[in-house]
Structure 1
Amino acid sequence: MSQSKNTSLILASTSVYRRELLTRLRIPFEVVSPKVDETPLTGESTLDLAMRLAHAKAEAVAKQFPEAWVIGSDQVADLCGAAIGKPGNFERAMAQLQLMRGQTVTFHTALCLMKGDTQTTLSVPTEVCFRKLPDTVLENYLLAEEPYDCAGSAKSEGLGIGLLESIKSDDPTALIGLPLITLTGLLRDAGFAIPPKK
């Protein structure tokens, strides 16, 4: 694989899901942990939180590697204006799924591509409608999938798809954590060949 002349790419993320998604584009890239405080600001909306963190992650790594293009991304799930984060354990995951049962949740997946003073930050929303399912089904799902590192506890790329009534998005991989349709456009504008030349 080859990439455009004088360009290098870094993914500012510790997410295995984003790494796997970016690999699909077959562009060489490195992964660097951004080390960013993800605590929401007082009164901050879920969309603003996702946008701020995507930018902060890209900026933290871009300062270390000023000659590289850096991708920052963050996702915040929004239920009636309240942020739903990564559960971390079974009990919190069960509470999340019970709360979202029969509801529509908006997943804001923010993306930032940055190199020096050149940067673009945007967000791709995904509306997810959850089925009204009994606790026994939710429990079986959690024990089988263990999605405790996933915002909202429902992995659409796995068994979590069975919890969902519908998904509405212009960019299907946004829900998994990285909107590839949007990203490929930004990378092409930055000079990357997609697909790469052999």
Structure 2
Amino acid sequence: MEANLGQFKLILGSSSIARRKILADMGYEFTLVSADIDEKSIRKEKPEELVMALAEAKAKAIVQRIPGDDNTEEAESTLLITCDQVVVYEDAVREKPSHVEEAREYIRGYSKGHAATVSSVLVTNLKTGFRKGDVDRVEIYFHEIPEEVIEKLIEEGMVLKVAGALIIEHPLVLPYVKEVVGTTDSVMGLPKTLTEKLLKEALGAK
């Protein structure tokens, strides 16, 4: 897949294991850089605006740390992908749970309920300065999630590290997912189709 877009270097500005796996599954080779920004200091009212603002802040932080050696005409373009995601539940934005009880409360709310993920992808061409992003929203409907399943998820701890304590691809959660309107890769934090589109646009822009 990478060959179709020509030669370029790719940086994934995320520490997410799920995003890393999705990008590798898409056939790309890339290096990892984490932005390490204070996400709580950036607030927006709408979830779409929040995830874009966070992706932009991550890109800005990473660009400042990367040496500007890509400005010669011969050099390959370096593309930077930054992302963010929140879960929306009853019009409230949910980020990573701040403690165990909050994670438990989040998952209980999904039982026989509905949530949505809003994911942003921003691609920056470090050679040309081109930058473009967009968001993808997925609606998720759940059957009843048994209390013992919730406790197992809490005990395991992975749900504490993701937006809204929501991992629909988890083997414990999967049986209780009633319907997904959208793609699983988007729920996992990196919508493939949108990412591909933005990479092509970033390479094509002069």
Gaps of at least 5 residues in structure 2 are: 71-77
Question: 5+ residue gaps in structure 1?
Answer: 193-198
CA contact (8 A) 1:71 1:114 kept: yes
Deviations 1:87-143 (A, max 9, x none): 255432211111222222111011100124311111000111122334234224444
Number of the residue aligned with 2:75: none
The 1-side partners of 2:103 and 2:118 are apart by 19
Separation in 1, partners of 2:103, 2:184:
23
Amino acid at match of 2:201: D
- Number of residue pairs matched by the alignment: 190
Alignment of 1:107-122 (within 5 A): 107-116=117-126, 117-122=129-134
* Alignment pair present for 1:138 and 2:150: yes
Higher helix share: 2
**Residues of 2 paired with 1:46 and 1:14: CA distance?**
21
Q: 1:98 aligns with which of 94, 108, 111?
A: 108
1:191 is displaced (CA, Å) by: 4.0
Q: C-alpha offsets along residues 45-70 of structure 1, whole Å, 9 cap, x if unaligned?
A: 22211111112112222333353211
**Structure 1 residue matching 2:165: 3-state secondary structure:** coil
Equivalent AA in structure 2 for residue 16 of structure 1: I
Deviation at 1:15, TM superposition (A): 1.1
Q: Which amino acid counterpart does residue 192 of structure 2 have in structure 1? A: L
**Who is 2:15 aligned against?**
14
RMSD of aligned Cα (Å): 2.4
Q: Which amino acid aligns with 2:159?
A: P
CA contact (8 A) 1:46 1:81 kept: no
- Tell me, what secondary structure is at the counterpart of 1:148? helix
Q: 2:57 & 2:157 partners in 1: Cα distance?
A: 31
Does the 8 Å CA contact 2:13/2:59 hold for their aligned counterparts? yes
Aligned partner (choices 135, 142, 148) of residue 123 of structure 1: 135
Instruction: Please tell me whether residue 72 in structure 1 is matched to residue 82 in structure 2.
Output: yes
Task: Tell me the distance in 2 between the aligned counterparts of 1:41 and 1:188.
Answer: 29
Q: Which amino acid aligns with 2:120?
A: A
Percent identity at matched positions?
24
Partner of 1:33: 34
Q: Distance in 2 between matches of 1:152 and 1:90?
A: 12
| Equivalent-residue separation in structure 2 for 1:125 and 1:2 (angstroms) | 26
How far does residue 40 in structure 1 lie from its aligned partner after superposition? 5.6
The corresponding residue for 1:163 is 176
Distance 2:194 2:142 in 1: 25
Instruction: Give the match's secondary structure for 1:34.
Output: coil
Structure 1 position 83, deviation (Å)? 1.6
Alpha-carbon distance in 2 for matches of 1:150, 1:20: 15
Q: Are 1:177 and 2:189 an aligned pair?
A: yes
